[in-house]
């Protein structure tokens, strides 16, 4: 072919060519191992790839890498599409969830919340064989709502007699079942606590059993990743690597303190039910959220603020990746808990790379009435630790942390471009949306990933830190 490319080049490979054509020092081209492409050739290869067959192997440089700050739900919808472009993604997730079956595990056995991590691991897991699908089905299964029915089904699963084990080979069966049995043993040892299996996640139970056995959250993630066959270059990172329980708190503008992620985001008053984060489904907050922080979970002084250390692996990845993404989802209980830790703001502000906010399409209890610039301010204040101890706070500008915003078309959140421009953010892109029966308007996954990768490639060759320089050159 005239372009010197395979007709079967994939989207992932063509993205690599676009990126490395602008960054020759990052590629094999500069070492003479591949014939160099011009920018136009690489761009045409990307455009042609929509008509190509992704199933054929292709030798190419690695695509650019991403780090995504998110929770365990909203971003899951685009993970499958992102995997088609790159698997070099570090998913950074909070460990302070205290709702659903996670809450019951933490109540009885202690430790960090693993629900968000389990959810992302499942989305990244292999689906290429019948056994991989069976393992994914098993670890993604939830028990019935009725406590008695849930307990009976749990016993069938632990004893290896449930149909969920069909198509799971003996090595996988014995590995998974061993940690489910260990989890059950740990529950029985807490004779003073009665565990409720209602709506329980088998993946959460497996995760908790592994964490307790190894006394390591990282080891549990590694085991889960290998069992579910997550690509080795995909990382699922807890923002805090700990075996201790973590409690999230928030301070409202009127000085009110709220304890617990569930109470902040979607209080259920102890009811076991499907979570609905629509702000019309629960009472409004008395005033806007000013900041989130971590609180003591032990002792008598339960309102005492604590300052856990960030996972060093997160800081390491922030220093290496080619793009940072703040995902859509629960702003103050899914994204900001990862941003308020010391070291995160310092590391992000030091990087001159794409830093992209995926704006929510709808409001929830945490963000009712907020505009796009309010989202930017909340993220900036979290990274600067504006309302924490003065000697630990930063004074960076919004544009040091965010240089592009992707907005879902027909979304509810007002996009106040004038204020965004005053914050130094001029690159605002409208992205096609779709209507989900449960969530309403959401990003169209294909359109979102294309817009994201287009922006990465657009500025890869422009070594500027501030977006106004980018806009003036475009």
Is the pLDDT at 469 greater than 50? The verdict is no
Are 444 and 434 a contacting pair, CB within 8 Å? yes
Give the position of tokens 């959250």: 217
Structure-model confidence comparison of residues 87 and 99, the more confident one: 87
User: pTM of the prediction?
Assistant: 0.83
Is the pLDDT at 138 greater than 90? The verdict is yes
Identify the DSSP state of 333: I
Structure-model confidence comparison of residues 28 and 432, the more confident one: 432
The least confident of 31-40, 80-89, 259-268 is 31-40
Structure-model confidence comparison of residues 40 and 116, the more confident one: 116
> Per mean pLDDT, which of 41-50, 208-217, 289-298 is the most reliable?
208-217
Residues 406-426, mean pLDDT to the nearest whole number:
97
Token digits for 370?
A: 């907020």
Within its chain, how far is the Cα of 391 from the centroid?
30
Instruction: Give the three-class secondary structure for 67.
Output: strand
**Which tens digits make up the pLDDT trace of 327-336?**
999 999 999 9
**Which tens digits make up the pLDDT trace of 353-402?**
999 999 999 999 999 999 999 999 999 999 999 998 788 899 999 999 99
**Can you give 334-346 as a three-state secondary structure string?**
HHHHHHCCCCHHH
Give the Cα separation of 13 and 48 in Å (integer).
12
Give the Cα separation of 337 and 307 in Å (integer).
11
Token digits for 354?
A: 């794409």
Give the pLDDT of residue 191: 79
Token digits for 55?
A: 């199933």
Are 442 and 436 a contacting pair, CB within 8 Å? yes
Q: Give me the residues paired with residue 68 across strands.
A: 91, 325
Give the Cα separation of 460 and 443 in Å (integer).
24
Token digits for 404?
A: 């592009």
* Cβ within 8 Å of residue 108, ≥6 positions away: 187, 190, 193, 195
Give the pLDDT of residue 230: 95
Give the pLDDT of residue 54: 39
């Amino acid at each position: 072919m005239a372009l010197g490319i395979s007709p079967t080049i994939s989207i992932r490979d063509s993205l690599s060519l676009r990126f490395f054509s602008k960054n020759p020092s990052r590629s094999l081209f500069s070492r003479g191992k591949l014939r160099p492409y011009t920018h136009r050739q690489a761009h045409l290869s990307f455009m042609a790839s929509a008509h190509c067959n992704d199933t054929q192997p292709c030798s190419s440089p690695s695509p650019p890498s991403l780090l995504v700050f998110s929770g365990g739900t909203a971003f899951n919808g685009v993970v499958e599409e992102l995997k088609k472009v790159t698997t070099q993604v570090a998913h950074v997730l909070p460990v302070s969830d205290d709702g659903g079956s996670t809450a019951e595990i933490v109540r009885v056995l202690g430790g960090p919340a693993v629900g968000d991590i389990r959810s992302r691991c499942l989305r990244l897991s292999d689906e290429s064989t019948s056994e991989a699908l069976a393992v994914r089905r098993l670890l993604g299964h939830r028990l019935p709502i009725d406590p008695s029915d849930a307990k009976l089904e749990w016993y069938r699963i632990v004893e290896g007699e449930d149909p969920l084990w069909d198509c799971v080979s003996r090595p996988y069966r014995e590995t998974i079942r061993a940690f489910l049995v260990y989890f059950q043993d740990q529950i029985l040892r807490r004779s003073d606590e009665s565990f409720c299996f209602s709506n329980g996640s088998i993946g959460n139970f497996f995760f908790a059993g592994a964490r307790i056995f190894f006394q390591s959250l990282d080891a549990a993630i590694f085991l889960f990743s290998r069992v579910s066959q997550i690509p080795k270059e995909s990382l699922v990172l807890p923002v805090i690597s700990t075996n201790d329980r973590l409690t999230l708190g928030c301070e409202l503008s009127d000085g009110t303190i709220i304890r617990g992620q569930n109470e902040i985001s979607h209080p259920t008053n102890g009811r076991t039910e499907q979570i609905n984060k629509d702000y019309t489904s629960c009472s409004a907050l008395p005033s806007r959220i000013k900041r989130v922080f971590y609180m003591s979970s032990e002792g008598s002084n339960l309102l005492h603020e604590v300052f856990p250390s960030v996972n060093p692996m997160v800081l390491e990845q922030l220093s290496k990746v080619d793009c940072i993404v703040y995902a859509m989802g629960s702003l103050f209980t899914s994204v900001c808990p990862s941003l308020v830790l010391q070291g995160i703001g310092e590391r992000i502000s030091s990087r001159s790379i794409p830093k992209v906010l995926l704006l929510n399409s709808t409001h929830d209890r945490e963000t009712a009435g907020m505009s796009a610039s309010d989202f930017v301010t909340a993220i900036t204040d979290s990274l600067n630790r504006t309302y924490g101890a003065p000697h630990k706070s930063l004074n960076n500008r919004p544009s040091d942390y965010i240089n592009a915003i992707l907005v879902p078309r027909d979304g509810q959140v007002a996009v106040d471009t004038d204020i965004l421009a005053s914050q130094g953010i001029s690159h605002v892109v409208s992205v096609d949306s779709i209507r989900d029966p449960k969530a309403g308007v959401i990003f169209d996954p294909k359109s979102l990933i294309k817009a994201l990768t287009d922006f990465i490639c657009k500025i890869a060759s422009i070594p500027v830190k501030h977006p106004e320089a980018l806009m003036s050159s475009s």
